[in-house]
Structure 1
Amino acid sequence: MANMITVDSEEFRELIGWADRIEQNIAEAIKRMRPTIADEHYMNSEQLADKLHITTRTLQKLRDERTIPFTSVCGKFLYPESGIYEVLRKNYRDFKTWKRR
């Protein structure tokens, strides 16, 4: 006869709880995923505006001025994560040591 594993109802509820938490964590991770094209992660306008704490109108102005890198696919704007970080890095100023002119 095959070995039988017995689980009492409290252990079963605990296992179900673990499974539910794992399922929730996976669902949250999927929501945070960004599209990847040619090993580059992209953000859409809403995601980038939220991350930079700016409006989508300000984002449009940055696009118009060619301040930030972007691409347009079927009328949707996508922003390469590495390009955005590079713009931020190049324009970073430490305001603790920065003096007004």
Structure 2
Amino acid sequence: MEVITMESDAYKRLVSKIEQIADFVAEAKLPSEEKKEAWLDSNQLADALGISTRTLQRLRDDNLISYSMLRGRCMYKLSEVERCLEERTIRCKPGNLEDFRRNYLNRTGHDKKR
């Protein structure tokens, strides 16, 4: 084992810099730690919006809503659905965006708040 000696002041400065780095890393938000995006499949989304899956398919075909395919299923980001509702691209039974969000979050058990 090798022993390294250093002056007390140099050691204190080194510890201080390490603590600053640790604080910076602890406060930094990594992309994976940011809010996690909720995803809905076609049936969940159609049910939440009070529309048919065929209407949802027409929205996809007309490129009015974006989606991703996952193992043969169309999946929609909740933020994308909210954008479409705000822009009035999608018309649905809930009276406004807050009703939709509240209905969806209550059904799925999500406890996130914006």
TM-score by length of 2: 0.45
Q: CA deviation at 1:57?
A: 0.7
Which structure ranks higher in relative contact order (CA pairs < 8 Å, sequence separation ≥ 6)?
A: 2
- Which secondary structure does the structure 2 equivalent of 1:40 belong to? coil
Q: Which residue of 1 aligns with 2:44?
A: 47
What does 1:74-89 correspond to in 2, within 5 Å?
A: 74-89=71-86
How many correspondences in the alignment?
55
Superposed CA deviations along residues 33-59 of structure 1, whole A, max 9, x for unmatched, are xxxxx8211001111001111111111
Q: Could you tell me which of 55, 60, 65 is aligned with 1:58?
A: 55
Superposed CA deviations along residues 27-82 of structure 1, whole A, max 9, x for unmatched, are xxxxxxxxxxx821100111100111111111111111111121001110100000
Q: Equivalents in 1 of 2:54, 2:84: separation in Å?
A: 19
Structure with more strand by fraction: 1
Alpha-carbon RMSD: 1.6
Q: Equivalents in 2 of 1:63, 1:78: separation in Å?
A: 11
Q: Equivalents in 1 of 2:88, 2:55: separation in Å?
A: 17
Structure 1: state its 5+ residue gaps: 1-37, 93-101
Q: Equivalents in 2 of 1:87, 1:39: separation in Å?
A: 19
TM-score by length of 1: 0.51
Q: How high is the sequence identity, in percent, across the aligned residues? A: 38
Structure 2: state its 5+ residue gaps: 1-34, 90-114
Moved over 2 A (4+): none
What does 1:1-101 correspond to in 2, within 5 Å?
A: 39-91=36-88
